[in-house]
Structure 1
């Protein structure tokens, strides 16, 4: 008869601290990640007494050289992409009762003639109301 103690099994490794570290890293990277699409180019807005910046869905960029940018589209294709995105959104929602508002982020060095020439093109894209982003002096 063998009365010796049976061999003891090793306890399983505790993985809870490692899981906690992984979740903390995940939360850190989610918080520090950039959730808005990057701007197509840098723009220095003109100075004004109030700032009405909204990073809305309809954000059109105009740089100092007069080039347009909407999301990934640059140049004349930006207005085409903007109109297509508006038409797509208006197919889902009623744009007659609540018309979309375009936010224009124009550089301060853009000539007023270029801005005035752009307004009819924006109107033909389907936007009746435009908000110009400015910066406090």
Structure 2
């Protein structure tokens, strides 16, 4: 009586190699794609809004944190140089400006900031908010 030997498992392992290659390629792709989006230079919690937001071309973005520290497209600014930097950027770049302000920033500071930006030549200004959760 002869016993049959089981076939070696080499065939099933050979079929897994292309699958493993594809999984690793997908892993590398998503690791690289996740880094393409720029992050904000300050930690912010924007206020919420009931109004819908429209999509536009890439604007000039001004970040203002709760202490009043400002960053224009990733470059930290002092309040004294804000007007000239905004005027330079608006002359060479997009025609509109978006402001991402922290929700805890005083409203009077936001109004003063808007006045300074209008004096610097910014006419199209958006204050970014989050939609309210219902």
Q: Same fold (TM over 0.5)?
A: yes
What is the CA RMSD across the aligned residues, in angstroms? Answer: 2.9
Q: Tell me by how many angstroms 1:108 deviates.
A: 1.0
The 4+ residue runs of structure 1 with deviation greater than 4 A are none
Q: Is the 8 A contact 1:50 1:135 kept in 2?
A: no
| CA shift digits 1:79-134 (9 cap, x unpaired) | 433322222237xxxxxxxxx12111111111111111111211122211211111
Tell me the equivalent position of 1:85.
89
**Structure 2: segments with no counterpart, 5+ residues:** 1-17
Who is 1:68 aligned against?
70
State the Cα deviation string for residues 13-33 of structure 1 (Å, max 9, x = none): xxxx9xx88xx3764443232
Tell me how far 1:136 sits from its aligned partner.
Answer: 2.2
TM-score by length of 2: 0.63
Summarize the Cα distance change of 1:75–1:39 in structure 2 as closer, same or farther, 3 Å threshold: farther
Query: 1:118 aligns to what?
Result: 113
TM-score by length of 1: 0.62
Q: How many residues align?
A: 108
Task: Give the structure 2 partner of residue 95 of structure 1.
Answer: none
